[in-house]
Amino acid sequence: MQLEINVIDAFTDTVFKGNSAAVIVTYEWLDDTLMQSIASENNLSETAFIVVDDKGIYHIRWFSPLTEIDFCGHATLASAFVLFNKNLNVQSIKFSAKAVGVMTIVQTEAGKIQMDFPNRMPEKVDEIPESLSAGLSIAPAEVYRNTQAYFVIYDSESDVLNVVRDNEKLKQLAPYDVVVTCQATSEKYYDFVSRYFWPANGGDEDPVTGSIHTGLAPLWAERLGKNELVAYQASKRGGVLNCTVANDRVLVSGNAVQYLTGFITVEG
């Protein structure tokens, strides 16, 4: 069986930047084991699998090299990019995922792809887990948590950029990942910066993480007193995300660029 595969760099307009995701569209779901094997073979942050129903809603599932993921923003952006390119007259797409519900994706006049996600504002943690403190070389100023990750607040960009992690310690926080963040100071264009570590669920450091901004954006919106924010994820590849907090929704927008189109051959 041959399957078309597209690899897209998300949250960037430059190839080799942002976060790469593979996108595979099929008429019906592949076997779960096969999807996980494909994702492991691709060895990208995520591989997205898409099946459209008779109502035109695209059902999406995301797999890291290690496991199926409940929610992935950059692979949703990559998937929308592929579908928009296959359907040039379409300006809006609806995705559906079990853990997130229905998501409306649109192409903006500015040329970005805008995703409508649930607001996943984190809550402050009073007792910091020992494995979190021991897993980071710089002590947090504050810690928050939502259903996805621990949010470590630092006082300076140098802390975010220079913190060293112990992956074995951070794995003990499973199923939670860890994001470190602070208010941006060195670049006036950005409101806040972050880095995302997920050794328990996918790998070492994620290049750009759309889903975590459904927690980061409302957190910084509250702290900065503004609902329109520009975020920079300060990984080696880097990525820019435009975020709008609108009550119980967070709109996350970004660019994407095609890296690869091809076919894979699998048994199934």
Residues involved in catalysis: 46
Q: Which residues contact 164 (CB under 8 A, 6 or more apart)?
A: 136, 137
Pairing mode, strands 123-124 and 149-153: unpaired
193: number of Cβ within 10 Å: 23
- In degrees and rounded to multiples of 5, residue 199 shows phi and psi of -65, -25
Contact 35, 61 (CB under 8 A): yes
- In degrees and rounded to multiples of 5, residue 48 shows phi and psi of -100, 135
- Torsion over CA of 43, 92, 191 and 136, rounded to 10 degrees? -30
How many DSSP H helices and E strands does the chain contain?
Answer: 6, 18
List, in sequence order, every residue forming a beta bridge with 19; answer none if it has no partner. 10
Measure the CA–CA gap between 137 and 161, rounded to whole angstroms. 12
H/E element holding 267? Answer: none
| Cis geometry, peptide bond prior to residue 175 (ω within 30 degrees of 0) | yes
HSE-CB for 159 with a 13 A CA cutoff = 18
